[in-house]
Structure formats: structure tokens, C-alpha cells
Amino acid sequence: MRVTGRSLPASMLLSIRDRRMRKANVAALKTTAITGTLVASYNVHKCIGVDRKFDPERTVRVIREIDPDVIALQEVDNRFGDRIGLLDLARLERETGLVPVPISATGKGHGWHGNVLLFKKGVVRDVHQIRLPGLEPRGALVAEIDLDGSQTLRIIAAHLGLLRRSRSQQARVVLDLMNSPDEKPTLLLGDLNEWRLGNRSALNTLHASFGPQPPAVPTFPSNLPLLALDRIMANRHGMIAAVDAHDTPLSRVASDHLPLTAFVQLERMADADNGLMSQASQSV
């Protein structure tokens, strides 16, 4: 879906045409040994599948299929009222080892504006809950986690709005979280709700910190993915690899979004940071 200024119908036709090529590329990647920390983003659509059935157990089964080290979930709470959480997080931890990043939530919800960030191993150093601007109630979680005992990774888990103007405002808030080019290694993952690429994208402002991105992978709608609404971005070149949709018979029906996955190369994070420190010392 490398498009610039195309209309939605044109983008959809291009996506259909390129789908076979993407599947061939994914098959080639799977024959190559890829290692690293597996991260994922998944809009669970309040555990309602494309068959309109409410089935949290099915959602958990998809997460088990992915078997991620870190995963950001969106729409995991009811939208209105007490925003009651929809998953059995204790059971999810027993079956997958995933524990939620702690937040100061009120009511009975799991997350912050429907966002939950879970991880298997590591130490949480800091957590912030960010309220994003716009007409809809939207938010982001910002967590700093030591995943390997030495390297701290900042993860921004977000769900941006449906209106382009709101997305532009929300993207600027995310950009404000990034203070300088030598900022700590950071991942941005979530449902960013932006199908446009190129100059018309509301996410263009993020290029200042996240730079050129890997090809956008269609994840919506799950039964025939045409639009790349879900993204995984990094502020280090080469930090993420093998960005792919988790496309299985179960994931195609469990939500209207497919999960998006990628591998984080923690050793490359360390190499990049050492390079930045070396450049900084030479400029002094």
C-alpha cells in the first residue's frame, strides 16, 4: 500500500492487486530465521467478531496464537458507562504469561480509554496515561520497560480518532513526547486509524521522530484486509523487522482488525544508542 494522494477506492484496488505479492514476501520471510522480541498490536473490537458474536475466549485464543512478548490491545473495555473490562486478565496471564502494565484506572475497566499494554518479562520503570485531544475520548499509554535487564524501551500504545483533524492533533501530542533525535529507543504501536499514506496522511508529523517507516501492512477489515489502520513504528533505523499481519482463520473472525506483529531487535537498539553517544562525544 505505498500510495501518495490516491483516493480510497484506488488504494483498495491497489491493495487487492498487491495482496498476492505480500503473501509471497511473508512466506519468504518465514523461511528466514528471525529472532528478537515479538511485539503486537491488536484492536479486539470489544471482543465482538465479524460474526457479531461477543466472545472474549476467542480473543484470548488469538492472543495465544500470536504468543507475543509485548502486546498493545485497543477497545478492551466497554466504551460507555463504567467502561467495564471485557477480558479475564488473570486467566490471560495464566495461559500466556502476559501481565498488564499497571495504571491508575478508575471504575471497572482494564485500561486507559480502552488501551491495555501487556508484557511477559521485564521491569516497568515508568508509566504515563495521556489524554489525547479530539471529539472522541481517546488516550495513550506511555511505559518504560526494561525487557532484557539492561536496555530500557519506551512503548507508546495509542488508539487515534476517526476524524482526520483529531488524528493530526493527536499525532502532534505523540510527537511532543519525543524530546530530541537522541531520545531513548521508542516504539509506537496501536490502531492509528489512518489509511492514507504519503502527503495526505495525518501521521506525517511523526516522521520527525520516527523517520521513514516500513511498508504499511493492511489489517482492516480482517476478512479482506485492505487498509493499514494498525501500525508499529520505531525511532531507530533497523530496530523493527518482519512487520506482518497475523492472518489466521481464527483472527479473521474474532475482530474486525487483524493483529499486527513485528520483531524488535534489542541488540540493534544498543548499537544505535552507542553510535549516538559516540557522535555526541565527538561534537563536544
pLDDT for res 25: 53
* pLDDT > 70: percent of the chain: 77
pLDDT tens, per residue, the chain with 284 residues: 434 455 556 555 555 555 555 555 555 555 455 678 999 999 999 999 999 999 999 999 999 999 999 999 999 987 666 678 899 999 999 999 999 999 876 667 787 889 999 999 999 999 999 999 988 889 999 999 998 766 789 999 999 999 999 999 999 999 888 866 557 899 999 999 998 877 788 888 888 888 877 788 999 999 999 999 999 999 998 899 999 999 999 999 999 999 999 999 877 665 555 554 444 444 44
Range of the domain at 77: 8-283
pLDDT for res 2: 39
Residue 1 lies in a domain: no
Residue 110 lies in a domain: yes
Residue 3 lies in a domain: no
pLDDT, tens digit (0-9, with 9 covering 90-100), for 188-236: 999 999 988 777 888 888 888 888 777 889 999 999 999 999 999 999 9
CATH code, domain carrying 251 = 3.60.10.10
Residue 137 lies in a domain: yes
**CA distances (Å), origin 10, targets 2, 6, 162, 164, 196:** 12, 6, 20, 19, 11
Give residue 140's identity as a one-letter amino acid code. A
95-99 long-range contacts, CB within 8 A, separation 24+: 95/60, 95/64, 96/60, 96/63, 96/64, 96/67, 96/120, 97/121, 98/63, 98/68, 98/71
Residue 211 lies in a domain: yes
pLDDT for res 54: 97
Give the strand order in the sheet containing 116-119: 99-100, 116-119, 70-74, 37-43, 260-264, 240-245
The partner residues of 144 in beta bridges, in order of sequence, read 126, 154
User: For residue 25, what is its C-alpha cell?
Assistant: 514476501
- Count structural domains, the chain: 1
Grid cell 473472525 — which residue?
253
Residue 41 lies in a domain: yes
Residue 262 lies in a domain: yes
pLDDT for res 10: 58
